[in-house]
Structure 1
Amino acid sequence: MIKYLFPFVLMAQLLAGCASDPGNRFLHDEDRASIDQKVIDHTTTRADVAAMFGEPLKAVSAEDGRLVWTYQLTHTSADGTSHLPVVGLFAGSSSGSTKTLVITFDRHNVVDAHRLDEVPVRVRNGVLNQLF
């Protein structure tokens, strides 16, 4: 019986050990200081931002003519328990952070304001975590 389960347990362990980075890869090495050097309020244009970071995850137009672009990147990697045979399958988890860059443009497509936030995240991906 165990020899039949082994390939599934092994595959689950390999998949749990992978890091993931869904979102805008251009944000990976950025922090508030680097963003503040690249995105300058009342100077940087919408075309400049698109050239630096690509298309936003979300673009919202306000009634006053402003445009808000949102970029996001989540980086997680498997926690220690995920690498333990069998334990990872049942109680594995991943942790990391999510970076969110919000840029507001005025009616003339110039940056009015910007903000980069980074918050910690934890994802429980073990079988037991899914049940509870």
Structure 2
Amino acid sequence: MKRIAIISVVAFSLLMAGCASSGNKHIQKETETSVQTKIQEGKTTKTEVKGMFGSPDSVNFTDGGKEIWKYSFAKVKVSGKSFIPFYGLFHNGTTGTKKELTILFDGDKVQKYTMSESAIDTKSGWAD
């Protein structure tokens, strides 16, 4: 019985060590459609955006002085190949998804915004 418990703990630890997420948790479950229902160009204000998504990850300005807010979230999983002794040195990496919400403000109101989701696939083994 003790042996089964130890094996279960080790297996669970390996599974949890293989996943990671980073970025703004507020956009983790957002989609293009859900963002369309929350943000209206020409109407939604900075205060409303901050209330929905929190503080932006980065703030930049255009040459004309307009503000650009960016939010991003990434969730990746380490490839199972990474844990195979010796083989993992040559073939390993991560897969996952990245979401990014970019908002352009004209004064206090949203002028334009984009929400995108893309796949992440990195290879970091010696043979990759």
TM-score between both structures, scaled by the size of structure 1 = 0.75
One-letter identity of the residue aligned with 1:67:
E
RMSD: 2.5
| Alignment of 1:56 onto 2:61 | no
CA apart distance, 1:17 = 4.3
Give the fraction of aligned pairs with identical amino acids, expressed as a percent: 27
Where does structure 1 lack aligned partners over 5 or more consecutive residues?
A: 1-9
Q: Distance in 1 between matches of 2:22 and 2:124?
A: 16
Deviation at 1:23, TM superposition (A): 0.9
Conservation of the 8 A alpha-carbon contact between 2:18 and 2:79: no
Matched residues, number: 117
Q: Which moved more, 1:86-95 or 1:69-78?
A: 86-95
Matched residue SS, 1:35: helix
Instruction: Say whether 1:36 aligns with 2:36.
Output: yes
Aligned in 2, Cα 1:120/1:94: closer, same or farther, shift over 3 Å?
same
2:97 counterpart letter in structure 1: S
Q: Which runs of 5+ in 2 are unaligned?
A: 1-9
Aligned to 1:87: 87
After superposition, the Cα gap between the structure-2 partners of 1:16 and 1:95, relative to the gap in structure 1 and judged at 3 Å, is farther
- Residue aligning to 2:122: 123
AA at the equivalent of 1:36:
Q
The 1-side partners of 2:97 and 2:72 are apart by: 11
- Per the alignment, do residues 124 and 14 of structure 1 end up closer, same or farther by CA in structure 2, a change over 3 Å counting? farther
More strand by share: 2
Q: Structure 1 residue runs of 4+, over 6 Å off? A: none
